[in-house]
């Protein structure tokens, strides 16, 4: 009779079953309600880690639950397969990025299959597949035609030794993360996507996405960074034109005492007087070496240099020296700042350092600031002073009035500014999607004609790690004839940022097999938008913003009708062990393989779902894993033991029932209600699992005799437990479902229905006596304990008035009937 739970056998059996039955394959079915569930696809780094196990276990619960609810569930998986690690590995192992990548993919695919995740593997894609990236090239050309893709020169972090651009994250203490050489700022022609054209729409929609965590929306709003302010012209003292600034604080205009320009400002050198030139040039060079991220840091040491020129404050006529300053950025606003040292902290530090004048124009209420003794800028709102006709007004009111005044006087105008910059997508790397552009000396920039697509990444390339982009050394690749004039031309050797691929993979999943277009419009229309997206919070800005932008571009190119790609977003927490995020460098990783070997995938899934709610960090615990395993064994044993009692018996469907049977049904249906609510509405998987555990405990509490007498109810209970566990531990549940006499494919049976009548607590009337005299009656639920009844009795006004001020000596309870309180 005793048959042990052997996860390895059970899991292999059902994985084989799902695979051969294509259990999770879906097609577009207009007659069925769709549900598109997506987890962020992984980078094929080699093997899956616990973060993946967690992310994909969460997703799989939702997928399986929705399937059991009868929805047509699209649950795809693929690989974010281009990128630098493959190239570095190739250099290290003297191998090829493609080989490394595809080997990793095949290993990790196996790992995911061993976890029992219910993907439609027929839709699998890797972004480095020609069948994927070729369509991205087409979209690039269409974006180029609309002016959304364009080329401009900009400053980048450049490692002269590796001859490559580095992202800010790849610059460590001003040095290249790989070779430790000093990083330079270099002006380079780069390709950009005009995401700023969509800034307003991207921002606007953050107020229309109730299915996203507020935290992520706030991060996106801040990243887009819309500010309302004014552009104001400051005439040059010599009468030769003016300097335009952008300010959000026009209320401080009367306090502007000097001017700060970005060192790269186009007027910088023209404004520099001959005697100041050597110093100014040295300063510009120095700043340009500083990486971008440092220049915006709060703790940046403010530095600058005087140009020798002056401009005039347009409202006070004050002569303002023009400086170049390291904290002024060239690509924000106009690249020029009217400096108000009394009310801006950076200007304050700068003024103290270079001994520049201070003028207070806003006073805190009931206080008088003295510029000679101020130790920091006063940045809050207050009352206007030293500001002509605006004196005495609250500064926030003056802000409006001064803006109107400037417009009327023709000195300035109201504007909005965005922090968001266009997305630079050029990478000087091999393992990426080639940008389909040709340069011709005669014709200039020539897009690759669509009929010549795709531009195939050549495979015969040497990876030495020396001398920059390997593609730029493959003559057969870059030597081409100009598509327009036929003359000798050169192919672009930059490849696209890999964030481009992850910006539309969810669209490709809708019709991954179309060979004539990036996607099939009708099929995409059926599936999109993604109903639930699940991934890490680290993607709150970049990936999630790029994907939103790209979707809107695809819409404007006529590919899809939707405005936003992801209706609901869940950002799961990290996996923590010994107080730190699991990572190789910390040496605290738990290898999913070892876990599967020892306990099976179902235990790994159950633990990662039970140990914490999805959005919270999950603290790893070996005892917790063990506990999950023991629970499964307990369920296994109980079902096995009950099998003889329910054999040939149908699940309860009404009819006569004993009191014990009613109680049993009540526990079952209360649990179904809770689990349905926790899983379906709130994704509180941990409390759902806890409720199932409690139910199993209650079942163990029933006497054999009562179970035997209520076999149909017992069967209903057993099946409910197994069905409710199916999204969490699918192999285990399929196996028990089969043992209970059903065919495989448990999700076809559907999610257990909840019978409200069965879950209702019966209520009892309990008589309350104080010192033997009848003093009240209370209504309590049938399952109320003595403690519950006592609390209810003491909460009753009448009863409490008789015991007030007395000491409770004793309480006697006749269950379900009478409570006698002895008080003196």
* 322, two tokens: 């023009």
Give the number of residues in contact with ligand ANZ, rule: CB under 6 A: 18
Least distance to ligand ANZ from the beta carbon of 332, Å? 4
Is residue 481 a contact point for Zn ion (CB under 5 A)?
A: no
442 binds, among ligand ANZ, Zn ion, none (CB under 5 to 8 A by kind): Zn ion
184's enclosing H/E stretch is strand 184-193
Is residue 343 a contact point for ligand ANZ (CB under 6 A)?
A: yes
Burial class (CB in 10 A: 0-12, 13-18, 19+), 67: buried
443 binds, among Zn ion, ligand ANZ, none (CB under 5 to 8 A by kind): Zn ion
246 binds, among ligand ANZ, Zn ion, none (CB under 5 to 8 A by kind): ligand ANZ
Is residue 340 a contact point for ligand ANZ (CB under 6 A)?
A: yes
Site for ligand ANZ in 214-253 (CB under 6 A): 227, 246-249, 252
Least distance to ligand ANZ from the beta carbon of 422, Å? 16
Least distance to Zn ion from the beta carbon of 488, Å? 9
* 824, two tokens: 């003196």
Least distance to ligand ANZ from the beta carbon of 613, Å? 36
Which one, 109 or 491, has the nearer CB to Zn ion?
491
Report yes or no: 385 and 363 within 8 Å, Cβ to Cβ: yes
249 binds, among ligand ANZ, Zn ion, none (CB under 5 to 8 A by kind): ligand ANZ
Is residue 482 a contact point for Zn ion (CB under 5 A)?
A: yes
Strand boundaries in 545-692, DSSP class E: 566-572, 575-577, 580-581, 618-619
Least distance to ligand ANZ from the beta carbon of 399, Å? 11
345 binds, among ligand ANZ, Zn ion, none (CB under 5 to 8 A by kind): none
Least distance to Zn ion from the beta carbon of 448, Å? 13
Site for ligand ANZ in 415-474 (CB under 6 A): 417
Is residue 116 a contact point for ligand ANZ (CB under 6 A)?
A: no
Which one, 185 or 247, has the nearer CB to ligand ANZ?
247
Report yes or no: 597 and 579 within 8 Å, Cβ to Cβ: no
Q: Compute the distance between CA of residue 342 and CA of residue 358 in angstroms, rounded to an integer.
A: 6
Least distance to ligand ANZ from the beta carbon of 329, Å? 4
Report yes or no: 374 and 358 within 8 Å, Cβ to Cβ: yes
Question: What is the largest distance, in Å, between two alpha-carbon atoms of the chain?
Answer: 112
Contacts of 511 (CB under 8 A, 6+ apart): 519, 520, 523, 524
By CB under 5 A, name the one of 15, 154, 484, 698 that touches Zn ion.
Answer: 484
Is residue 440 a contact point for Zn ion (CB under 5 A)?
A: yes
Q: CB neighbours (10 Å) of residue 759?
A: 17
* 597, two tokens: 């070997």
Strand boundaries in 511-631, DSSP class E: 530-536, 566-572, 575-577, 580-581, 618-619
β-pairing verdict for 175-176 and 171-172: antiparallel
Report yes or no: 73 and 22 within 8 Å, Cβ to Cβ: no
Which has the closest alpha carbon to 552: 564, 540, 567, 542? 564
Which one, 329 or 818, has the nearer CB to ligand ANZ?
329
Is residue 439 a contact point for Zn ion (CB under 5 A)?
A: no
Q: Nearest 5 degrees, angle CA 727-CA 731-CA 732?
A: 90
Name the one range near ligand ANZ by CB under 6 A: 68-76, 198-206, 339-347, 807-815: 339-347
Name the one range near ligand ANZ by CB under 6 A: 91-99, 328-336, 432-440, 599-607: 328-336
By CB under 5 A, name the one of 443, 557, 794, 811 that touches Zn ion.
Answer: 443
Q: Compute the distance between CA of residue 652 and CA of residue 639 in angstroms, rounded to an integer.
A: 17
Which has the closest alpha carbon to 234: 246, 217, 225? 246
Interface residues with Zn ion (CB under 5 A) are 440, 442-443, 482, 484-485, 487
Q: Given the rule CB under 6 A, which residues bind ligand ANZ?
A: 227, 246-249, 252, 262, 328-329, 332-333, 335, 337-338, 340, 343-344, 417
């Amino acid at each position: 009779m005793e048959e042990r739970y052997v996860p390895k056998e059970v899991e292999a059996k059902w994985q084989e079953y799902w695979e051969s039955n294509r259990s999770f394959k879906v097609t577009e079915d207009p007659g069925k309600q769709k549900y598109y569930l997506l987890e962020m696809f992984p980078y094929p780094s080699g093997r899956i880690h616990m973060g993946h196990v967690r992310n994909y276990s969460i997703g799989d619960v939702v997928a399986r639950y929705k399937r059991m609810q009868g929805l047509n569930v699209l649950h795809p998986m693929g690989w974010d397969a281009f990128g630098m690690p493959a190239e570095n590995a190739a250099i290290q192992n003297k191998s090829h990025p493609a080989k490394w990548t595809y080997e990793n993919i095949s290993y990790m695919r196996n790992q995911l299959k061993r976890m029992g995740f219910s993907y439609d593997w027929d839709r699998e894609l890797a972004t480095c597949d020609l069948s994927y990236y070729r369509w991205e090239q087409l979209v690039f050309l269409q974006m180029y035609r609309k002016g959304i893709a364009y080329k401009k020169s900009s400053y980048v972090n450049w490692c002269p030794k590796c001859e490559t651009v580095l992202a800010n994250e790849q610059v460590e203490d001003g040095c290249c993360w790989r070779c430790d050489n000093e990083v330079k700022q270099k002006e380079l022609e780069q390709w950009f996507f005009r995401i700023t054209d969509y800034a307003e729409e991207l921002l606007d929609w953050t107020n229309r996405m109730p299915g996203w965590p507020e935290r992520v929306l706030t991060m996106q709003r801040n990243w887009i960074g819309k500010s309302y302010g004014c552009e104001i012209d400051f005439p040059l003292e010599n009468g030769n034109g003016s300097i335009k600034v952008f300010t959000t604080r026009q209320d401080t205009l009367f306090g502007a005492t000097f001017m700060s320009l970005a060192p790269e400002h186009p007027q910088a050198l023209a404004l520099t007087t001959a005697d100041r030139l050597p110093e100014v040039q040295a300063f510009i060079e120095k700043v340009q070496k500083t990486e971008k991220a440092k220049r915006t840091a709060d703790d940046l040491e403010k530095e600058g240099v005087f140009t020798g020129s002056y401009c005039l404050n347009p409202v006070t006529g004050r002569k303002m020296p023009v400086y170049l300053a390291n904290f002024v950025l060239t690509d924000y606003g106009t690249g020029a700042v009217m400096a108000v040292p009394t009310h801006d902290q950076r200007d304050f530090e700068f003024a103290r350092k270079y001994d520049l004048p201070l003028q207070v124009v806003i006073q805190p209420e009931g206080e008088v600031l003295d510029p000679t003794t101020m130790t920091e800028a006063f940045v809050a709102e207050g009352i206007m002073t030293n500001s002509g006709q605006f004196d005495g007004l609250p500064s926030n009111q003056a802000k409006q009035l001064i803006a109107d005044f400037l417009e009327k006087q023709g000195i300035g105008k109201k504007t909005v500014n965005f922090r968001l910059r266009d997305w630079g997508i050029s990478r000087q790397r091999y393992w990426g999607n080639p940008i389909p552009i040709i340069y011709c000396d005669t014709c200039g920039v020539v897009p690759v004609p669509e009929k010549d697509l795709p531009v195939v990444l050549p495979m015969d390339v040497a990876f030495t790690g020396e001398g920059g982009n390997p593609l730029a050394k493959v003559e057969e690749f870059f030597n081409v004839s100009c598509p327009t004039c036929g003359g000798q031309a050169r192919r672009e050797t930059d490849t696209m940022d890999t964030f481009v691929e992850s910006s539309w993979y969810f669209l490709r999943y809708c019709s991954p097999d179309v060979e004539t277009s990036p996607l099939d419009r009708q099929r995409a229309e059926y599936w999109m938008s993604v109903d639930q997206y699940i991934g890490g919070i680290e993607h709150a800005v970049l990936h999630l913003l790029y994907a939103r932008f790209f979707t809107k571009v695809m819409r404007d190119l006529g590919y899809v009708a939707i405005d936003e790609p992801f209706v609901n977003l869940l950002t799961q927490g990290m996996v923590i062990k010994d107080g730190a995020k699991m990572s190789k460098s910390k040496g605290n990783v738990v290898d999913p393989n070892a876990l599967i070997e020892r306990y099976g995938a179902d235990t790994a899934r159950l633990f990662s779902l039970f140990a914490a709610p999805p959005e919270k960090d999950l603290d790893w615990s070996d005892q917790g894993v063990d506990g999950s395993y023991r629970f499964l064994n307990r369920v296994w044993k109980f079902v096995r033991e009950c099998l003889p009692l329910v054999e040939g018996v149908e699940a309860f469907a009404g009819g006569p029932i004993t009191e014990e049977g009613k109680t049993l049904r009540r526990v079952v249906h209360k649990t179904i209600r809770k689990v349905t609510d926790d899983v379906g509405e709130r994704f509180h998987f941990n409390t759902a699992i806890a409720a199932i555990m409690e139910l199993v405990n209650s079942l163990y509490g029933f006497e054999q005799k009562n179970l035997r007498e209520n076999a149909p109810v017992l069967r209903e209970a057993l099946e409910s437990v197994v069905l409710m566990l199916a999204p969490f531990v699918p192999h285990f549940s399929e196996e028990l479902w089969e043992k209970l006499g059903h065919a495989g494919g448990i999700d076809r049976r559907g999610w257990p229905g909840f019978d409200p009548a069965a879950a209702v607590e019966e209520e009892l009337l309990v008589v309350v006596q104080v010192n033997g005299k009848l003093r009240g009656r209370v209504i309590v639920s049938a399952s109320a304990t003595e403690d519950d009844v006592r609390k209810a009795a003491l909460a009753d006004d009448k009863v409490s008035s008789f015991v007030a001020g007395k000491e409770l000596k004793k309480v006697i309870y006749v269950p379900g009937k009478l409570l006698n309180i002895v008080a003196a």
